[in-house]
Each structure stands twice: as C-alpha cells, then as structure tokens.
Structure 1
Amino acid sequence: MSLPQIARILHWQHRRGPAHTLLRAVYDPATRQAVVVFSELASNPDDRGITNDFAPLAEAALPVLRKELSPDLASVLWIAHFGDFSYHYVPGPDSFTLITLEVTEHGYRDGENDRKLTADEVTRLFHGLPLAPVPEVLAGLEPST
C-alpha cells in the first residue's frame, strides 16, 4: 500500500521574521500519524533557523498537513534535518533530530527531550521510504510551492 506523501516549501513566521523550509511528510491512515521532516535550507535567513523557534513552525505546518494529507490527523512526529544544503553545515553525514513539542492550551511549546536520529531510523519512521536528497527534491518542486 502506498502511503500519502507531500513535499513542498513551507513559508512561516519565525519570531525574527519570515522564514521558509523544505517540508516532507508521510501519513499512515491506519495510525492517523504523520511523520514530518523539515530540512533547513541555506536560502533561509540564518537568524531564523528551524530549531530555535520550532513550535510556530509546527503550528504553521498543521493546516498544510490536514489539507494535503488528512483532516483526520491524530499525531505528528517532528524531525529537523540538516546537511550540506543548510547554511550552517559541518561536513559529514546529514543530521536528524526528533523534536519534542508540548501541547498547551495556546498551541505548541518547545519541549526539552529532543534526540538525534540516524538516517536509518528516519527511513524506518518514513515507513521504509528513504528521503531523496534535498537538491533533487527542490529541483522537482513546482515553482509555486
């Protein structure tokens, strides 16, 4: 069975101003869970990184996930992704961090139990679908995304 997926540029409001990231997601209707990977792009202003204001980024992504994957979305795993396509890149393999968010009466709040993931762990979370290289994904996006 093929699971619903999306890839797009997501524009959002960082506390320091407009920002953007590559959003990739897969949705499992059986569990009603999405797994989202936000890739930090070199074209995003370097004072507006995804991990230093993650809660508003996740809140901006939710309507997109509900519209493009499922309005029945029950839970989301959030992953931050960095590599040679990012503005603060240290040579080596891509890095992935599972981001924890706390749900409050006012929305999300950044949590404190983030943890590093391997590329293999991300592939498993993405239901065995390896992430395509960021430049390849960006090249395949429609100009309006």
Structure 2
Amino acid sequence: MSEISSNDDRFGIADDMAGVADKAFTLAQEHIDADPRAITWVAHHGTFSYYDAFDPDTFTLVPLVWDGRRYQDNLQAHRLLTEQEVHGLLDGRTLEPVPTALANLGRPQRGLQR
C-alpha cells in the first residue's frame, strides 16, 4: 500500500493498515481468489506521500492477522524492510512508480514530486 499526498490527512494508511487491508482485500476479491492469511502487507512511503517529503522510499512490513472476518494490526510488529527484503518479497516483479500508477488509474496527482 502506497501513501499518497492527495489522501485526506484523516485517512492515512499508516494510521489504519488493518482498515486499508480490509477494503483492498474486499475490492480484490472481485478479481482474484486469494487466502487473506497468505497476503503480505507492506506500507510504502516516499516523496509522493507528503507535500514536504524529501526522504527516499521506505517500506514497512505490516504483519496483519486475519481473524476470519477482518484484519487485526499490532503496531509493535511493524518493521522497516531493506531494499533486498523488498526485492525478495516481489520475487522478481517490478512495480510501477507511484505517479505512473496513479496516472494510469486516472487519479489526481497534486503534490507528487516524481
């Protein structure tokens, strides 16, 4: 999940990763058949995340627990990932830069610096 600067500050992904995952999983079920317990959730932040951000991209492993109906989050279990760990999780796949992905979705990009 990538935090983007056009999100309302009241709805940042870092504040409610379990809620974001619940919604994303619900939407994804229309297109894929996945076990909610088998999904690895990663929070992604970068220069596109905040209007005053200058730091490089960061990736945080968010080990959510599926209780049979929804995800549960334990903030103490979050941990930053190294670049090598992120590449390992992607298993050779590459991700589009966030501004490109947003443009392809037709989303507003105000404040994006990439």
User: Which TM bucket (shorter chain)?
Assistant: 0.7 to 0.9
Alignment-derived partner of residue 131 in structure 1: 95
1:123: how far off?
A: 2.5
Q: Which residue identity lines up with residue 57 of structure 1 in the other structure?
A: V
Mark the runs of 5 or more structure 1 residues left unpaired by the alignment: 1-37
Q: Structure 2 CA distance, aligned partners of 1:83 and 1:89?
A: 10
1:76: how far off?
A: 0.5
How many aligned residue pairs are there? Answer: 104
3-state SS of the aligned residue for 1:80? strand
As a proportion of its length, which structure holds more strand? 1
In 2, are the aligned partners of 1:82 and 1:94 still within 8 Å (CA)? Answer: yes
Alignment-derived partner of residue 56 in structure 2: 93
Question: Under a length normalisation based on structure 2, what TM-score does the superposition of the two structures give?
Answer: 0.77
Question: Under a length normalisation based on structure 1, what TM-score does the superposition of the two structures give?
Answer: 0.63
Alignment-derived partner of residue 83 in structure 1: 46
Q: Structure 2 CA distance, aligned partners of 1:119 and 1:49?
A: 23
1:77: how far off?
A: 0.4
4+ runs of 1 displaced by more than 3 Å?
none
1:104: how far off?
A: 2.8
1:92: how far off?
A: 2.5
As a proportion of its length, which structure holds more helix? 2
Q: Structure 2 CA distance, aligned partners of 1:65 and 1:85?
A: 24
In 2, are the aligned partners of 1:98 and 1:117 still within 8 Å (CA)? Answer: yes
RMSD: 2.0
Q: Which residue identity lines up with residue 116 of structure 1 in the other structure?
A: L
